[in-house]
């Protein structure tokens, strides 16, 4: 049966105490009548409950285990009672191990909120047309992975190239556990291969960036669309027929407090463009504040896993060697982070993502 350090026990007891205080607050009529307050308290209560509940069950099991051990150690106990107690200890120990893992998972990964919708942004980097084609490959990789997970993918905005690549593409991915899995994909992705446009057969290196933005159903960052957001309406240019340019349908939104801007012109309808732009803007603003909060909480942590930092090169796709290397994984994880490229590019990402999640969990446990 695992042993919990005194420091960890103190932390868990503090969580349980706070959990009980929140329960009392929710029963307070003054809090219950304040919509904003009761929502905030309920969310925190649910979050802490994922730790407090298992910990209470864990301590109850420890008490039962001690009672069973006392029967085993009592010289006056009959043989059949000792045998029953021994079987009970074995069963309780297994339950305790399971609960202990659940407690640690909830404790160290509590900021991995249960968000079932994300905005996935893929942009071509250095490499011209080849980079745009690589961005398209990444989109297909995530689309196949989403199909495996039975997630829904919706294209929100796309800027394509003549060769079938994408300068930029923004999609919404919805489904169970989508944020917990895709949050590790944010960063710089590099590809090494012979481009279709290369006549001499030389290997080129190109890049694309991926950003993964959580899109909670109830975004915690309030946006005053009338006061905080400037809206610019214009005619949509480019391909799409004459009707595209006749109607002022293109929308550009600017969130004044943060300076974040979003432009949307894919739809002929101004209302549809505005709705899509607001979804993307809300997610970007939410992610900005979430990232700043996470940075404050983990200023000492050097790891960038799951941070979504677009400037960080996280992975290299080497086609000549049929190897995909995730640079965040340390040696010991699948030969230091190396995976079969065909497997990864086809959308079979679970093994790689699970390794990243396990590594982050281990790092956070070490910091407790």
Does the pLDDT value for residue 365 go beyond 80? no
Give the tens place of pLDDT for each residue, 192-237: 999 877 777 788 999 999 999 887 665 556 788 888 899 988 876 6
Q: How far is CA 257 from the centre of its chain?
A: 25
The DSSP bridge partners found for residue 251 are 233, 264
Q: How far is CA 18 from CA 4, 25, 54, 108, 298, in A?
A: 20, 10, 15, 17, 22
Written as one string, the DSSP assignment of 42-70 is HHHHHHHHHHHHHHHHHHHHHHHHHHHHH
Cα–Cα nearest to 161, from 188, 136, 197, 192: 136
Please tell me the CATH code under which domain 117-219+306-366 is placed: 3.30.70.1660
Q: What is the DSSP letter of 160?
A: E
- 3-class secondary-structure state, position 250: strand
Q: pLDDT band for position 58 (50/70/90)?
A: very high
Q: How far is CA 295 from the centre of its chain?
A: 15
For 208, the token pair is 């694309």
Does the pLDDT value for residue 306 go beyond 60? no
Cα–Cα nearest to 210, from 114, 117, 141: 141
Identify the H or E element spanning 278. helix 270-297
- 3-class secondary-structure state, position 226: coil
pLDDT for residue 267? 78
Residue whose entry in the numeric block shows the structure tokens 């250095």? 126
Q: Which fold has domain 229-297?
A: Double Stranded RNA Binding Domain (3.30.160)
Contact 317, 328 (CB under 8 A): no
For 136, the token pair is 């398209």
For 50, the token pair is 């994922």
Give the tens place of pLDDT for each residue, 95-141: 999 998 888 878 776 655 667 889 999 999 988 899 999 999 999 99
pLDDT for residue 308? 35
Report percent pLDDT > 90 for the chain: 43
List of E strands, 48-132: 117-124
Rounded average pLDDT over 256-264: 90
pLDDT for residue 293? 63
For 74, the token pair is 């009592």
pTM over the 0.85 mark: no
Give the tens place of pLDDT for each residue, 160-193: 999 899 999 999 999 988 998 999 999 999 999 9
For 186, the token pair is 């944010």
d(CA 142, CA 325): 17
Domain boundaries, the chain: 6-108, 117-219+306-366, 229-297
């Amino acid at each position: 049966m695992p042993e919990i350090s005194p420091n960890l026990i103190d932390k868990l007891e503090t969580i349980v105490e706070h959990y009980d205080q929140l329960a009392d607050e929710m029963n307070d009529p003054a809090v219950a009548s304040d919509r904003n307050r009761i929502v905030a308290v309920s969310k925190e209560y649910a979050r802490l409950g994922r730790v407090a509940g298992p910990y209470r069950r864990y301590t109850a099991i420890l008490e039962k285990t001690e009672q069973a051990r006392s029967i085993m150690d009592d010289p006056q106990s009959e043989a059949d009672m000792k045998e029953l107690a021994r079987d009970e200890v074995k069963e309780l120990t297994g339950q305790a191990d399971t609960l202990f893992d659940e407690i640690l998972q909830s404790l160290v990964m509590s900021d991995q909120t249960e968000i079932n919708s994300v905005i996935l942004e893929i942009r071509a980097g250095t490499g011209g047309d080849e980079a745009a084609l690589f961005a398209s490959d990444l989109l297909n990789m995530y689309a196949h992975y989403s199909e495996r997970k039975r997630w829904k993918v919706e294209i929100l905005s796309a800027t394509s190239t003549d060769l079938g690549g994408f300068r930029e593409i923004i999609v919404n991915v919805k489904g169970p556990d989508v944020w917990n899995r895709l949050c590790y994909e944010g960063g710089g992705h590099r590809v090494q291969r012979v481009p279709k446009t290369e006549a001499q057969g030389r290997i080129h290196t190109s890049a694309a960036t991926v950003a993964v933005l959580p899109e909670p159903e109830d975004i915690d960052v309030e946006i005053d669309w009338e006061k905080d957001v400037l809206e610019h309406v214009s005619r949509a240019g480019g391909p799409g027929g004459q009707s595209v340019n006749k109607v002022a349908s293109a929308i550009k939104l600017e969130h004044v407090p943060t300076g974040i801007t979003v432009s949307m012109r894919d739809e002929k309808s101004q209302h549809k463009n505005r709705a899509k732009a607001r979804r993307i803007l809300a997610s970007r603003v939410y992610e900005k504040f979430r990232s700043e909060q996470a940075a404050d909480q983990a200023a000492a942590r050097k790891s960038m896993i799951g941070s979504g930092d677009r400037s960080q090169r996280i992975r290299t796709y080497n086609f000549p060697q049929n190897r995909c290397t995730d640079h965040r994984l340390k040696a010991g994880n699948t030969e230091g982070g190396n995976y079969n490229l065909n497997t990864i590019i086809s959308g079979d990402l679970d093994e790689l993502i699970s390794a990243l999640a396990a590594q982050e969990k281990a790092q956070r446990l070490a910091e407790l």
